[in-house]
Amino acid sequence: EPEVTQTPSHQVTQMGQEVILRCVPISNHLYFYWYRQILGQKVEFLVSFYNNEISEKSEIFDDQFSVERPDGSNFTLKIRSTKLEDSAMYFCASSGYSNQPQHFGDGTRLSIL
């Protein structure tokens, strides 16, 4: 069964550094998403992306965050200047159409030191 893959599985970064989290969505999917889960808390929506532009973003997704689909297969989340509170598990998801079930990757655990 096709799946969403995320790399790396664990990223450790110094505070203030830039980090790029990578995702390969399911190949025929058109909608892409990022979510995060701070340890012990709910999974929170960050951003949705369709047709090469952001469809919706949450309050968490401030100017430090950006997303990109640099080629036909990858979908990336960049955090420009990381803060301690960015430490979390980041999940990528994709769906075929806007209101079809979203399939999630295994996540990238981001640790900011």
Partner 1 sequence: GEDVEQSLFLSVREGDSSVINCTYTDSSSTYLYWYKQEPGAGLQLLTYIFSNMDMKQDQRLTVLLNKKDKHLSLRIADTQTGDSAIYFCAESSLGSSASKIIFGSGTRLSIRP
Q: State the residues that interact with partner 1 by CB under 8 A.
A: 31, 33, 35, 41-45, 48-50, 55-56, 58, 91, 93, 95, 98-99, 101-107
Q: Which residues pair with 90 in a beta bridge?
A: 36, 108
Q: How far is the CB of 9 from partner 1 (least distance, A)?
A: 10
Taking the least distance from each CB to partner 1, the nearer of 19 and 49 is 49
Coil, strand or helix: which one is 36? strand
Least distance in angstroms from the C-beta of 56 to partner 1: 5
The long-range contacts involving 45-51, CB below 8 angstroms and separated by at least 24 positions, are 46/77, 46/90, 47/77, 49/75, 50/98
Please report how close the Cβ of residue 28 comes to partner 1 at its closest, in angstroms.
Answer: 16
Query: Within a 13 Å sphere around the CA of 84, how many CA atoms are in the beta-carbon half?
Result: 1
CB nearer partner 1, residue 14 or residue 59:
59
Query: Alpha helices of 8-107 — where are they, by DSSP H?
Result: none
Query: Looking at beta carbons only, is 14 or 51 nearer to partner 1?
Result: 51
